[in-house]
A = this chain, B = another copy of it.
Amino acid sequence: MARQLYELCGSDPVRVFSPFCWRSRMALAHKALDFESVPWRFTETDRLAFASHDKVPVLVDGDRVVADSWAIAQHLDEAYPESPSLLHGRPVPYRFVAAWNDAVLQPGIAWLIVSDIPPLLGETERPYFIQSREKRFGRPLDQVTADRETRLPAFRTALQPLRIVLGAQPFLGGDTPDYADHVVFGSFMWARSTSSLKLLEESDAVRAWRERMLDLHGGMARRAPCFGA
Contact = CB atoms under 8 A, between A and B. Distances in A.
Contacts of A90: 88, 90, 93
Copies in the complex: 2
A13 interface: no
A161 B104 contact: yes
A100 B104 CA distance: 11
A122 B80 CA distance: 60
Contacts of A92: 169, 172-174, 178
Interface string A87-112: 01010111111011011100000000
A131 interface: no
A164 interface: yes
Interface string A148-191: 00000000000011111100110011100010100000000000
- Secondary structure at chain A's binding surface: helix, strand, loop or mixed? helix
Interface string A134-159: 00000000000000000000000000
Nearest to A91: B174
A210 to B, nearest CB: 16
B180 A103 contact: no
A155 to B, nearest CB: 14
A104 B103 CA distance: 13
Contact of A100 (B96, B173, B174): B96
A111 to B, nearest CB: 14
Nearest to A159: B103
Nearest to A92: B174
B96 A161 contact: yes
B93 A94 contact: yes
A99 B173 contact: no
Contacts of A180: 93, 96
Given A88-B90, A104-B160, A161-B104, A96 B97 contact: yes
A103 B102 CA distance: 18
Among all A-B residue pairs, the 8 with the closest Cβ atoms = A93-B93, A99-B164, A103-B160, A100-B161, A99-B161, A92-B174, A96-B97, A103-B161
